[in-house]
Amino acid sequence: MSGKQTIVITGSTRGIGKGLAAEYLKMGHNAVVTGRSQKAVDEAVAELAPLGPVLGVPCDVRSFEANQAVWDAAVARFGRVDVWINNAAIATDHMRFGELPVDQVDATVATNLLGTMYGMRVAIAGMLKQGGGKAYTFEGFGSDDMTAEGLTTYGTTKRAIRYLTASLAKEYQDTPVLVGAMSPGIVATDLLIYSSKSRDPAQWEKSKRILNILGDKVEVVTPWLARAALENTKQGGTVAWLTRGKAAKRFFMSLFVKRDVVSEFEATRDVVVR
């Protein structure tokens, strides 16, 4: 598929989502950004508008109707949706599962898993009607079976999303809808820092060491990720920035070069929010 495309990115008023929207606009495409509040959406649109045609739609992905409203608004404005990226996600406080408030469990599962399922349901149905498109899930910590204290709920949702992607890719392998996953690796965002920041100072220092070795800034990852998602033609494929080979090289290079991605990110933020 060539020419100008319309890309929907959920949860795109900040972080990786907004970074992807900016890259697609720079590439000459249309971008549709979403967030839970009208204020956040308006602010993101104002920032992105100088780059190209951008539409902002408030959306709580935990609602199927809200996801459908995003699709309908995008089609009304741009005629079709070529790519739908389910980026929206939240994390719980960094604590053991047995101590975690139940409302945080509910919100994280509903946003990360149910929200992605609703988004894929809307995108796949719409793309089948229009004759094709690409629908992406978003991987994260836990997708590859890794575990860590304090990330049980978040990791569970991301592990489930990998199954969801594989299953949908098989279901729709003989259709013009390509189902895939995007894996940004470790990117310095509010979500990453919040979900990693343990109440135990010693544990947080250990986490920071890994984040500084493997982490990247949004502006480093999103240009590559945006292009790769458009170029991908493999049904069920994962567009992955941080490969095992790249991670191994980062650990080796850390013996000689010290990176401080976390401090650089936190210096630009007044507070870290969920």
The residues of the chain scoring below 70 in pLDDT are 1-2, 188-201, 204, 266-274
Q: Is 30 helix (H, G, I), strand (E, B) or coil?
A: strand
Between the alpha carbon of residue 52 and those of residues 48, 56, 99, 183, the distances in Å are 7, 13, 46, 25
194 among known catalytic residues: no
Q: Identify the pLDDT of residue 11.
A: 97
Q: In this predicted model, what pLDDT tens digit does every residue of 149-163 receive, in sequence order?
A: 889 999 999 999 999
- Cα(104)–Cα(45) distance, integer angstroms: 29
Q: Identify the pLDDT of residue 39.
A: 97
Token readout for 178 is: 């390509």
Q: Identify the pLDDT of residue 195.
A: 58
Contact 107, 29 (CB under 8 A): no
Q: Identify the pLDDT of residue 126.
A: 98
Query: What residue segments make up the domains of the chain, in order of their start?
Result: 6-188+216-242
**Structural domain 6-188+216-242, CATH architecture:** 3-Layer(aba) Sandwich (3.40)
Q: Identify the pLDDT of residue 154.
A: 94
Q: Identify the pLDDT of residue 96.
A: 93
The catalytic position among 24, 136, 154, 172 is: 154
Three-class secondary structure assignment of 34-60:
EECCHHHHHHHHHHHHHHCCEEEEECC
Please state whether the predicted TM-score (pTM) of the whole model is above 0.85: yes
